[in-house]
């Protein structure tokens, strides 16, 4: 591991050199070259991580403000997507403090059939499927994959301790976490990539994709289907070998559900109700998250004290603000139209929606090897908005398939969520990389063709 100070000395000169090269050779206006230089410089810092991503984001906002305008620099902080994430962080803190996550463990173990509890392989299979589906349901209730991972992690470690073999502990830990992360592609509010992409599409093309529309098109294949694929991968890689290597405690008495847990669940369901009826009222998903956050923190009605807000980490907001500023800057300076034209030149005429969507997946996955997935969204999405218009392809499926590609990783450095999973100190880099690689290959090889076929049939 390279120390942070050394990475700073490596990343800053590399970023500066790259930015200077862009300034010297970028086509178009000087404004475009300047915006590209700022983008490349900040992306180099995000890749090298010599400092925290939020610090680089502040540098980015400052550079955009000085080089262009305060209005452009702060455009991301006015985005509904940014505030949806803020309210999602508050919801996560409330869910954690209310004890709701612990209820998952108690319910899953109580519902386990007695005959399953005596066979480690059967118990592992049962727990894996149930926990993966429960984790997917959690993605509907709590926005932000990072928050869900931090909530579910300790619960999965506790359940994994039922098994004697380490391989089973790893599978029970990684399977549900990947389900709530990868399966979140099927829920608009479940993934930060989904939120950022739809926010950029709405601001750049004035095309709004509703929560119900996203769930209808993406939920069956990329939500339920992807979670089941994750469970199958975790079963194939980590199922226990010793059928006797399990110890399940006997259930004691009636399942005890506290009043706080009941109220928190009811409040979350209110939010889901608002999201699921957006085709009636037309409100942005942030209002559902806002309502849940208000109810959770309201005295007497809510479940947690306002002091919990002080424990929340809102540094991701600066990262989002920088991402939206970069995207808007690239659009205003004309780079996105130029890049879209260049991209379009690689596609044959009358390529059709299927080939176009496959090309979008290839472009997104390729870029994700070079920079963090959310940074890819900031650079690629504005380009794809112009690209879709030029290619004559509906923007909604382009945005959805991009979100899938930006939620399919191979290595931890590609995603802040995977770094957080590694930071829980349960699995090593090799185990995490193997799980991510197999899940991604299965997604790209099995599920993406199915999803593209669905879009090709109905759009």
Q: What is the DSSP string of 81-115?
A: HHHHHHHHHHHHHHHHHHTHHHHHHHHHHHHS-TT
Sorting pLDDT into bands at 50, 70 and 90, what band is 133?
Answer: very high
Average pLDDT over residues 354-370: 84
Of 116 and 429, the structure prediction assigns the larger pLDDT to 429
Using CA atoms, how far residue 91 sits from 130, 290, 396, 423, in Å, is 23, 9, 28, 22
CA 150 vs CA 184, 261, 292, 395: distances in Å: 15, 18, 19, 33
Instruction: Please name the residues in contact with 429: beta carbons below 8 A apart, sequence gap of 6 or more.
Output: 412, 422
Q: Which two tokens stand for residue 339?
A: 């890049």
The confidence band for 372, taking pLDDT boundaries of 50, 70 and 90, is low
Mean pLDDT value across residues 217-231 = 95
Half-sphere exposure of 393 (CA within 13 A, CB side): 31
- pTM for this entry: 0.74
- The backbone torsions φ and ψ at residue 246, rounded to the nearest 5 degrees and listed phi first, read -150, 150
The residue with greater pLDDT, 320 or 237, is: 237
* Torsion sign over Cα 215, 220, 226, 228: positive
Q: What is the mean pLDDT of residues 266-288?
A: 85
Q: Is the pLDDT of residue 349 over 80?
A: no
Q: Which of 24-28, 413-417, 421-425 has the highest mean pLDDT?
A: 421-425
Among the ranges given (13-27, 269-283, 357-371, 405-419), the one the predictor scored with the smallest mean pLDDT: 13-27
Q: Which of 4-18, 97-111, 314-328, 435-449 has the highest mean pLDDT?
A: 435-449
**pLDDT exceeds 70 at position 44:** yes
DSSP 246: B
Contacts for 39 with CB less than 8 Å, ≥ 6 apart:
326, 329, 330, 379
User: How far lies 318's CA from each of 254, 290, 324, 373, in Å?
Assistant: 46, 19, 10, 16
- Measured CA distances, 13 to 19, 21, 40, 392, 413 (Å): 10, 12, 12, 41, 20
Q: What is the pLDDT of residue 15?
A: 46
Q: What is the mean pLDDT of residues 137-166?
A: 83
Q: What integer pLDDT is reported at residue 7 of this predicted model?
A: 45
Q: What is the pLDDT of residue 11?
A: 44
How far apart, in Å, are the Cα atoms of 276 and each of 41, 283, 316, 358?
Answer: 40, 11, 26, 29
Tell me the C-alpha distance between 231 and 225, whole Å. Answer: 10
pLDDT at residue 115 tops 70: no
Distance between CA atoms of 273 and 276, rounded to whole angstroms?
5
pLDDT at residue number 181: 92
Lowest mean pLDDT among 186-195, 262-271, 312-321, 442-451: 312-321
Cα separation, 13 vs 435, in Å, equals: 34
Average pLDDT of the residues of the chain: 82
> What's the mean pLDDT in 169-193?
92
Confidence check: pLDDT of 160 > 60 = yes
**Distance separating alpha carbons of residues 177 and 90, to the nearest angstrom:** 20
- Helix ranges, 304-347 (H): 316-332, 335-344
Does the structure show a pLDDT above 90 at 447?
yes
Distance CA 53, CA 75 (A): 19
Q: In sequence order, what are the residues at sequence separation of 6 or more whose Cβ sits closer than 8 angstroms to the Cβ of residue 276?
A: 211, 212, 215
Of the chain, the end-to-end C-alpha distance in Å amounts to 48
CB 374 within 8 A of CB 323: yes
Q: What is the mean pLDDT of residues 274-287?
A: 83
Cα 257 from Cα 98, distance rounded (Å): 11
Does 32 or 171 have the greater pLDDT score? Answer: 171
Long-range contacts of 428-432 (CB under 8 A, 24+ apart): 431/170, 431/174, 432/174
* Percent share of the chain, pLDDT over 70: 86
Q: Of 444, 459, 456, 457, whose CA–CA distance to 222 is shortest? A: 444
Task: Between 213 and 288, name the one with better pLDDT.
Answer: 213
Q: Which of 385, 414, 415 has the alpha carbon at shortest distance from 402?
A: 385
pLDDT-derived band at 169 (thresholds 50, 70, 90) equals very high
Under the banding of pLDDT at 50, 70 and 90, the label for residue 421 is: confident
The pLDDT of residue 366 is 82
pLDDT average, residue stretch 395-420: 84
pLDDT over 70 at 24, yes or no: no
| pLDDT the model gives residue 20 | 46
**Is the predicted pLDDT of residue 406 greater than 60, yes or no?**
yes
What lies within 8 Å, CB to CB, of 449 at 6+ separation is: none
Whether the Cβ atoms of residue 211 and residue 278 lie closer than 8 Å to each other = yes
Q: Which two tokens stand for residue 98?
A: 């209310």
Banded model confidence at residue 19, pLDDT cuts 50, 70, 90: very low
The pair of three-digit structure tokens given for residue 173, joined into one six-digit string: 């830990």
Average pLDDT over residues 265-290: 85
Q: Which residues of 200-227 are buried (b: 16+ CB within 10 A; e: fewer)?
A: bbbbbbeeebbbbebbebbbebbbbbbb
Confidence bin at 401 (pLDDT 50/70/90): very high
Task: Give which of 312, 295, 317 is closest to 304, Cα–Cα.
Answer: 295
Q: Indicate the length of the chain as a whole number.
A: 459
């Amino acid at each position: 591991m390279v120390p942070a100070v050394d990475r700073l000395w490596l990343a800053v000169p590399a970023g500066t050199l790259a930015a200077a090269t862009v300034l010297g050779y970028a086509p178009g206006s000087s404004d475009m070259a300047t915006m590209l230089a700022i983008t490349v410089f900040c992306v180099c810092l995000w890749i090298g991580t010599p400092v925290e991503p939020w610090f680089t984001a502040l540098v980015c906002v400052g550079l955009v403000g000085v080089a262009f305008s305060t209005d452009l620099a702060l455009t991301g902080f006015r985005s509904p997507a940014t505030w949806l994430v803020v309210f999602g962080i508050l919801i996560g803190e409330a869910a954690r403090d209310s004890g709701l996550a612990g209820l998952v463990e108690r319910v899953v173990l109580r519902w386990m059939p007695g005959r399953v509890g005596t066979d480690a392989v059967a118990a592992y299979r049962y727990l894996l499927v149930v926990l993966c589906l429960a984790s997917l349901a959690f993605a509907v209730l709590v926005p932000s994959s990072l928050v869900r991972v931090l909530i579910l992690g300790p619960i999965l470690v506790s359940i994994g301790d039922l098994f004697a073999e380490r391989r089973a502990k790893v599978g029970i830990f990684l399977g549900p976490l990947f389900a709530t992360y990868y399966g979140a592609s099927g829920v608009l509010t479940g993934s930060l990539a989904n939120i950022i992409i739809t926010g950029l599409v709405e601001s750049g093309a004035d095309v709004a994709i509703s929560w119900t529309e996203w769930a209808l098109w993406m939920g069956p294949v990329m939500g339920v289907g992807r979670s089941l694929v994750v469970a199958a991968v975790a079963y194939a890689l980590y199922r226990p070998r010793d059928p006797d290597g399990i110890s399940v405690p006997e259930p004691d008495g009636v399942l005890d559900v506290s009043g706080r847990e009941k109220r928190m669940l009811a409040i979350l369901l209110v939010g889901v109700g608002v999201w699921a009826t957006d085709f009636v009222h037309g409100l942005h998903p942030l209002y559902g998250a806002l309502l849940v956050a208000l109810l959770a923190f309201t005295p007497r009605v809510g479940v947690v004290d306002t002091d919990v807000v002080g424990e929340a980490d809102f540094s991701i907001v600066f990262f989002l603000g920088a991402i939206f500023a970069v995207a808007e800057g690239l659009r205003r300076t004309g780079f996105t139209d130029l890049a879209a034209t260049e991209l379009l030149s690689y596609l044959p005429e009358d390529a059709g929606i299927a080939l176009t969507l496959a090309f979008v997946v290839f472009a997104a996955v390729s870029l994700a090897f070079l920079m963090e997935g959310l940074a890819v969204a900031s650079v690629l999405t504005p380009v794809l908005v112009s690209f879709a218009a030029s290619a004559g392809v509906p923007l909604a499926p382009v945005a959805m398939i991009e979100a899938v590609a930006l939620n399919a990783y191979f290595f931890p450095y590609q995603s802040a969520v995977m770094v957080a999973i590694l930071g829980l100190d349960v699995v090593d880099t090799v185990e995490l990389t193997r799980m991510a690689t197999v899940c991604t290959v299965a997604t790209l090889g099995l599920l993406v063709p199915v999803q593209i076929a669905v879009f090709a049939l109905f759009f």
